[in-house]
Structure 1
Amino acid sequence: MNTEMKILSAVVAGGAAAAAVGLVRSGYERRHFVVEETTIYSEKIRNPRTLVFLTDLHDKEFGEANSQLLGSIRTIRPDLILIGGDVMVAKPGKASLEVTRRFLDGLCQLQAQTTGENTGKPFRIYYGNGNHEQRLGREYKTYGEMYREFRRILKDRNISYLSDRSVNLSEQIRISGLNLDPACYRDFIPARMTTEYLERHLGPADDSRFQILLAHSPLYFEQYADWGADLTLSGHFHGGTIRLPFVGGVMTPQYQFFHPYCAGEFEKDGKHMIVGRGLGTHSINIRFCNRPQLMVVRLLPKPDEPED
């Protein structure tokens, strides 16, 4: 074998070994989520609140009936749980609500057993739509009665469904769930958005309260902030599938590459957005340097400015 062939064989063997290691690592990551925490300060918050944000479960179960995930939530003792959508997978031939049902049943059982660390009361559960929930409702011929059954699951468990809807948690906090048009999820070139879009779907933001917005896609952070969202909670991008040091996420589900909003916390003029990496996968079942994530957000009063 000549030198060139030896070099080529070594490169091929090395590439195959690296791919095998990557697949093993990806499998490990997909089975092991992490709990990560951040703090948001606001003058609109007078009483601390701890919220758990989860998104993009996509029928994934960590332990039987998601016992590991529920165990972590029990330890956190949240005051409220916000679900950012895509708990299920709505794809022809793969759509099912069984994991969704088991997970929400587990949450409700936990709700009856756990009190929030700040309120001393059972946590409340709020559910916003992702593109998969909206697909169930829109494509009746494909998914039949599944959307109606999904609605029944939420109603029977007293889970607040925020489908283009807002609720006041207290005098301090308002929570809104935004539905995004299918064009917003279009591959490669999604639709543009204006602030008026949010006004049509949700009405004006509540400036007197800390305004939380559940908006599944993070693409439109500037519009969410201009509308008046003090905190936007998004997902959808699965952390960018593969994350590279100093670069971030590589590819979104809409085939945008190296998008800055793949995951993390962002700020614009005092408005915040948290983009969760999600918990599951579906079409592209890969995670690398991108562990599934359960997000804890602590809302705290803004500290007084020190006097000169």
Structure 2
Amino acid sequence: MKHIRKKTLLGTAVVAGAALLGTCMWALQSALGISQYDIALPQGMEGLDGYRIVQIADLHSANLEKELEQALEQLQPNLIVMTGDLVNREDRDFTQALSTAALAVRYAPTYFVRGNHEVDNPDYARLRRGLEEAGVTILEDEGVVLDYHGTALNLVGVKDVNAYPGSRWKATVAMGQTAKELFVDGAYHVLLSHRPSLLETYGACGADLVFSGHAHGGQVRLPVLGAVFAPDQGFWPQVTAGVHTAGQAQVVVSRGLGNGTPFPRLWNGPELVAVTLRSAESFPENG
């Protein structure tokens, strides 16, 4: 009888251990996922139909080059945007980040804005030089007008609010005003800004499309319940992934590729975002 009980307990322990191991492997999924979104163009911007923008967010010096190369080969973007935290604040070796940047440039014109980790990194000037040498264009409260089939796309990049002097409130107001002043008439306005929590500011500044990251998808995404915590938003944050509406703006939030904290990402694999701009006639819902 005791022998049977021991075998039963052993069997239960093995099953429980296997279930725990399976759960951990599921939670720590590391395969690169691609999230693709179709964004409707406003009237008058139909010339941008089919224009594809790929977002590289929050790499944090992770090595995902093989997976990224396969994804970029598949997606064939017209434009690549990097929305900050390409490295960690403590990094001094930028080899991986710069190699990933050079990979991106091979596939499309690539633009970069700083995240809070670059703001805090004392060697940022060296990283900036390396990015420029790799062919990346850095937007520090700057804009550029790109032409596609005769239609203008105005790409604007603003500094992270931590790079502005004064209080967070004053920095946010200054950032929104800067973006507004850089938008030009007759163009589709795309804004690169690291933090997704500033929806009200994005909606008020006149942007049509915003790319951000920073929240790491909530770091831990519990099945059914969703994101657990994000900087600037606290517990059970609402703006950590996907597409959100703020005024006329569509705000695209990437879960990011790497990890800037010792705490692991759980149920939250690395994500590459691809946005395709669509005219009303070609929008999938109307197809």
Q: TM-score, normalised by structure 1?
A: 0.76
Aligned partners of 1:178, 1:147: CA distance in 2, in Å? 16
TM-fit CA distance, 1:237: 0.4
Where 2:47 maps in the other structure, the secondary structure is coil
Partner of 1:243: 221
TM-fit CA distance, 1:160: 1.0
CA deviation string 1:252-284 (max 9, x = no partner): 145711111011111133321010000111214
8 Å CA contact 2:143–2:183 kept in 1: the answer is no
Is 1:164 matched with 2:144?
A: no
* Counterpart residue type for residue 142 of structure 2: R
8 Å CA contact 2:139–2:157 kept in 1: the answer is yes
Is 1:77 matched with 2:76?
A: yes
8 Å CA contact 1:206–1:228 kept in 2: the answer is no
CA deviation string 1:174-200 (max 9, x = no partner): 11111123299xxxx964765554224
Unaligned runs of 5+ in 1: 1-12, 112-122, 137-142
TM-fit CA distance, 1:303: 3.0
Aligned partners of 1:194, 1:159: CA distance in 2, in Å? 26
Aligned partners of 1:176, 1:55: CA distance in 2, in Å? 16
8 Å CA contact 1:164–1:202 kept in 2: the answer is no
- What's the % identity of the aligned pairs? 25
TM-fit CA distance, 1:105: 2.4
Aligned partners of 2:161, 2:111: CA distance in 1, in Å? 21
Partner of 2:254: 276
1:99-114 map, 5 Å = 99-108=96-105, 110-111=106-107
* Counterpart residue type for residue 56 of structure 1: D
1:2-41 map, 5 Å = 21-27=22-28, 29=29, 31-41=30-40
CA deviation string 1:58-104 (max 9, x = no partner): 11112xxx12211211111111111111111112xx44211112212
Q: Cα–Cα, structure 1 residues 96 and 22, in superposed 2: closer, same or farther, change >3 Å?
A: farther
The one of 156, 168, 181 aligned to 1:203: 181
Q: Cα–Cα, structure 1 residues 286 and 22, in superposed 2: closer, same or farther, change >3 Å?
A: farther
Where 1:68 maps in the other structure, the secondary structure is helix
Aligned partners of 1:22, 1:105: CA distance in 2, in Å? 36
Partner of 2:190: 212
Partner of 1:177: 157
Partner of 2:57: 55
Where 1:96 maps in the other structure, the secondary structure is coil
Structure 1, 42-51 or 257-266: larger mean CA deviation:
42-51
TM-fit CA distance, 1:25: 2.9
Is 1:46 matched with 2:47?
A: yes
Query: Alpha carbon RMSD of aligned pairs, Å?
Result: 2.9
Aligned partners of 2:170, 2:228: CA distance in 1, in Å? 22
CA deviation string 1:6-30 (max 9, x = no partner): xxxxxxx999987655543343x1x
Q: TM-score, normalised by structure 2?
A: 0.81
Structure 1, 194-203 or 124-133: larger mean CA deviation:
194-203
